Structure 1
Amino acid sequence: MRRLAARLGLPLMIVVAGCAPAGTGPTGPLPSDQDQDQDQDPFDRRATAVAEGWRPGPGWSTGYIPLQDPTLLIGEADFTPATQTAFQAGWYRKPADLPARQPDSGTIRFPDGELRVPLVDADEAFRTLTNGVEPPSCPGAKKPEVPPPPAPGGDPDGTVSSRPQGECVALTISKVELGTAPLHTNRGEAQVPAWLFTVEEIGAVVATTAVAPQAVGRVPDPVVPSDSAPEGLVAAQNIIEVDGTRLAFRLGVGSCDSEITPLVQEREDLVVVGGSVVRSTDVCDAMLKLEEVEVTLKEPLGTRPVLDALTGAPLRVGGN
């Protein structure tokens, strides 16, 4: 599976990733009707209950349900602090020559088939790109200038920033065309019709999916197991990356939690993830911290959904 990228601002508090240790749950495909016994560990019991409660309906296997932000970066971008801020905020100048023709229907190509869907025009895609807001009054991007020699008494190393971090930039779109973009969906990574905006200041393409709203399915409501969650179980917040058998995700933990461990139960039709922590007995604030962790699956994720062991909800790539 290709590496997935999403448009999101990384949380301020992220710590070093961990790996799932042996004994954190089954790592091979398991039959959905596996017998339960009292010796099964608490996470396995919880994950099994989540898996057996997953009943997404027929639309999950036949329709289109995006599990990623509709706007994503294609390729590598040459960001500065100012253009990174503008990209995350959706600050773009509207091009005067947006394609005006309403496009014909397009085809979503899933690993397991194709789906013909109606599309939106470039103007509606641009509104999605900008989150429907106008950019602030920015003077526009400027080419970085060669800094002058440092003045006497300046910084010891003589470095000068050519673009202050707080500078306001509205991004310029130099080209707009209809194409496709890779997107994580209910049926794995799909090639989805998208409007491709070439952004001058970052030297990259920003894609916004072109599928009309009436063709987009709804994420099914999760079924939370009736039994209490195991002590120390924490929820998975979102997927960071899927790369072959490597699955990286974020856990929501307390700022004073320790021994943070990713947990996984892998089945033929889905994967359940979560984490365990040791709670502090000292006085601590209630601030949530997002910690990056990863696990290695026995088989590539493919079209299997990834469910959170605490809530039963399917995880999205990038922001929740």
Structure 2
Amino acid sequence: MRTKPARAVNLLALLVLFTAGTGVVAGCDSDKDREARARQVADAWDGSRAAEVWGQGYYPTGDAVQLPENAFRSDADKRAYTTQNFVLRGELPATPRKDGQVKWESGGSLALPLMGAEKAYESVARGGNDGPHLTVTGAKLGEMTVATSRGPATVPAWLFTLDGYDTPLKRVALSPSTAPKSPVKPAGKLPTDELAPLGGLVEVAGDGRSVTVVATHGSCDDGPAVDVLETGGSVVLSASVVGTKDGPCTSDMRAEEVTVKLDRPVGDRVLLDAFTGRPVPYEERKGSAG
């Protein structure tokens, strides 16, 4: 299955009509090579030790930050958050224990090192300009629910009290597990119209039947496309660029979100990038106000 942004559909349709009339089949070899690479990645991962390690780890597929209820009360506060401009008034508490527990709704738990309040604060407060700011007046250790590769989980979180808000800003107090070493090497240097690396995972739909990823392209093409190969143990995504053109082009790289529909929910299958041969990393949207 190939998914691409809507704006590229008509252009691709015209290309198909043109090639049909001329007897030329465009991109046939690239399609076969891309499918062969996806199959190679799936075969390497399915039933592997790496897949076993992945299935036992904590890998978030949702943001590590949850906003206060009814955020934000003003455009200035929203701007402060998106620019990560915070001010700390007072002291942050010490970490009460060494480890924290990840508890999955489906069962099972995992102990991981607990992140200190100061490190958690610094992960959201990276601003430092003279514009609007949010004031943190205190923090305490609590919990929050986050989406993971193994389904929803309850995890420790630092609850930061914000001046002017009745509920806290929550930040997960754990770092993801270390990813296992991939059983297959990266694809190597290939033309982007054949295969390209993904920028990251944006989200998995609530029903698990689609995933949104970041794919990149340049200034002389019709945009990115993403193919999918589903197996019992993995979902392999193959990104490429369609409609490449000759001529002078700028060197800028453009990122675009692409939603890929699946035949069945992702479930506990590993979401893989065909180019890198590794799990697609979650791309947390820094400073996103939702």
Fold-level similarity (TM above 0.5): yes
Letter in 2 for 1:236: L
The structural deviation recorded for 1:75 is: 6.1
Query: Unpaired runs of 5+ in structure 2?
Result: 10-28, 286-290
**2:25 aligned residue:** none
* Residue 170 of structure 2 corresponds to residue 210 of structure 1: no
AA aligned opposite 1:304? R
Give per-residue Cα distances to partners, 1:173-204, cap 9 Å, x unaligned.
25533222333445344322111224346776
Partner of residue 219, structure 1: 179
Aligned partners of 1:231 and 1:100: how far apart in 2?
Answer: 49
Relative CO higher for 1 or 2, CA cutoff 8 Å, sep ≥ 6? Answer: 1
Residues 23-38 of structure 1 aligned to structure 2 (within 5 Å): none
Verify the 8 A CA contact 1:83 1:169 in the aligned structure 2: yes
Say if 2:231 is the partner of 1:240.
no
Question: What's the counterpart of residue 42 of structure 1?
Answer: 33
SS in 1 for 2:279: coil
Note the C-alpha offset of 1:60. Answer: 2.2
Q: What does residue 173 of structure 1 align with?
A: 136
Structure 1 residue 78 corresponds to structure 2 residue 43: no
Residue aligning to 2:231? 267
Query: Which residue matches 1:115?
Result: 110
Alpha carbons of structure 1 residues 235 and 95: separation in structure 2 relative to 1, 3 Å: same
Which structure shows the bigger proportion of residues in helix conformation? 2
Paired residues of 1:19 and 1:293 also in contact (CA < 8 A)? no
The counterpart of 1:60, out of the listed 38, 42, 54, is 54
Contact residue 19 and residue 262 of structure 1 kept, 8 A: no
Give, as a single letter, the amino acid of the residue that structure 2 aligns with 1:268.
G
Residues of 2 paired with 1:67 and 1:202: CA distance? 27
1:278 and 2:234 are equivalent in the alignment = no
CA gap of 1:93–1:46, structure 2 versus 1, over 3 A, is same
Q: Aligned AA for 2:211?
A: L
RMSD: 3.7
Cα distance, 1:258–1:91 mapped onto 2, change above 3 Å? same
Cα deviation code 1:135-183 (max 9, x no counterpart): 5364xxxxxxxxxxxxxxxxxxxxxxxxxxxxx0221125533222333
Partner of 1:218, secondary structure, is: coil
Quickly say closer, same or farther: Cα 1:192–1:288, change in 2 above 3 A.
same
Task: Tell me which of 197, 201, 205 is aligned to 2:160.
Answer: 197
CA 1:305–1:189: 2 relative to 1, 3 Å: farther
Query: Structure 1: where are the runs of 5+ without partners?
Result: 1-15, 22-37, 139-167
Contact 2:145 2:155 in 1 (8 A): yes
* Residues matched between the structures, number: 254
Deviates more, 1:91-100 or 1:231-240: 91-100
TM-superposed deviation, 1:45 = 1.0
2:128 corresponds to 1:136 = yes
Which residue of 270, 273, 278 maps to 1:308?
273
SS of match in other structure, 1:180: strand
Letter in 2 for 1:176: A
Q: CA deviation at 1:81?
A: 5.5
Q: Could you say which residue in structure 1 is the equivalent of 2:282? A: 317
Mapped partners of 2:198, 2:164: distance in 1 = 35
Structure 2 match to 1:29: none
The amino acid across from 1:130 in the alignment is: A
Residues 59-103 of structure 1, C-alpha deviation per residue, up to 9 Å, x if partnerless?
323233456664454666327564344324433222425444614
Q: Which residue of the partner structure matches residue 6 of structure 1?
A: none
SS in 1 for 2:87: coil
Q: Answer whether contact 1:78 1:202 (CA < 8 A) is retained.
A: no
Q: Specify the alignment match of 1:153 in structure 2.
A: none
Residue 158 of structure 1 aligns with which residue?
A: none
Q: Are 1:183 and 2:174 matched, yes or no?
A: no
Verify the 8 A CA contact 2:216 2:224 in the aligned structure 1: no
Aligned to 1:87: 81
Answer yes or no: is 1:253 the counterpart of 2:248. Answer: no
Is residue 187–residue 303 contact of structure 1 (8 Å, CA) maintained in 2? yes
Residue 292 (structure 1) aligned with residue 282 (structure 2):
no
TM normalised by structure 1 equals 0.65
The one-letter code matched in structure 1 to 2:185 is V
